[in-house]
Amino acid sequence: MIDVRLLRSDPDSVRAAIGRRGEDTGPLDRVLALDVQQRQLGEERDTFRNEVGTISQEVGDLHKQGRGDEAASLQDRSRQLGEKADALSDEADALAGEIRDLLLRIPNIPADECPDGANEHDNVITRVEGFDEATWAEHQRVPHWEIGEQLGILDVERGTKLSGSMFVMYSGLGATLCRALVQYGLDRNVDAYREMRPPTLVSTSTMTSTGHLPKFEDDAYHLERDDLWAIPTAEVPLTSLARDEVLDEADLPMKLMAHTSCFRREAGSAGRDTRGLLRIHEFDKVELLAYATPDQAAEVHADILARAESAMADLGLVYRILDLCTGDLGASSARTFDIEVYAPGADQWLEVSSVSWFSDYQARRANVRYRPEGQKGTVVVHTLNGSGLAVPRVWAAVVETHRQADGTIAVPEPLLPYFRGDTVIS
């Protein structure tokens, strides 16, 4: 969440920043009003508490002097003041809860460099790599759901039978391709990112730390009996790995990666293309995440983007980089670059990675701090993350791009070590 101290000190700039997103700034004014009330109540409470402390000292002195009657009278006064202080404290706590609830729903301040825009149509395409309409052969213009059925490597019908619509099942070398992509995504980043395997089910507080709650509750799978949530991405547990901890500056940047299954309801998918693997409820993904100091954040952001981009390039896929505008920016993000691969059979650009810098927005919710060397106090860390490799859409693009004239699929060279000697999917 945004820093309420910044909102107090410079409300106009915060309003302008949130306004760049096209968001209503009314909640900011409500936070400011409640913050004034809460601090006034806190000052009154502290005044009463100080008076109680003074009276307690006087009562002690009176007892020493044998003036018990006077001491008893002061003790009655102290109890009355204490009750007033407690009541004010309860009111202040209630206002603090209301302020926090509002702050949890207010999006992050976009970076100054983030392009302005109203929606996805205003995103800036910064670079396109390898796209040439004339290079695609007819056999590459077959969509992956048809190829998967022809080769028996993707079984949408049985996946739906087992779990319902927008669930799929991979079979044979199709399943091998999934596993290969995951291992490829891990192995290429092990030089700098520590591999983790976090839980797939997490608490409400863990989901709240990243900003997925309360804003995206309808898009998440909730196990109400246990109050646990199926993670939509490994970003969720990794962000909370150091929740309520103070890290040493010498340990930053702390770089982590994890392969997990991910679960999303895709609540807003009505009317959108959900064929094949374009939009499904469960998928595997390798996530890259880092804690960093503010000074380290730009370099780490560039590193995650470069790693995700090179993974697509090495697989021989056509891709492009988008700089997301303020109107299409995720609620928790300050700056995001999307990587989209081109799937020639589906004739679509498919988002395969969002590489985001969240400034201190997530870490403030999770209370992750670091202690700067040689300084007193602590500072909120910055968090960054991106998909090192998200399986379904990369799977689709690989199958369509590397389909050969005889209907088989050539296994991309970086994946050969994971295919047990097979060089084609047939």
Per domain, the residue ranges of the chain are: 4-105, 120-425
Q: Which amino acid is at 187?
A: D
| The pLDDT of residue 66 | 78
Residue spans of the chain under pLDDT 70: 270-271
| The pLDDT of residue 374 | 87
The CA-CA-CA angle for residues 379, 100, 367, to 5°, reads 30
| The pLDDT of residue 301 | 98
Q: How far are the Cα atoms of 60, 122, 204, 240, 416 from residue 223, in angstroms, in the given order?
A: 56, 37, 11, 20, 39
| The pLDDT of residue 65 | 83
DSSP conformation class of 279: S
- Alpha carbon distance 383, 1 (integer Å): 13
Q: Which residues contact 78 (CB under 8 A, 6 or more apart)?
A: 52, 55, 56, 59
Instruction: Check: CB of residue 111 under 8 Å from CB of residue 330.
Output: no
- Alpha carbon distance 425, 411 (integer Å): 7
Q: In what order do the strands lie in the sheet with 201-203?
A: 201-203, 228-230, 221-223
The CATH architecture to which 120-425 belongs is: 2-Layer Sandwich (3.30)
| The pLDDT of residue 73 | 80
Q: 204 is written with which tokens?
A: 């409400």
| The pLDDT of residue 127 | 97
What's the CATH fold of domain 4-105?
A: Helix Hairpins (1.10.287)
> Which has the closest alpha carbon to 393: 351, 354, 424?
351
- Alpha carbon distance 399, 317 (integer Å): 10
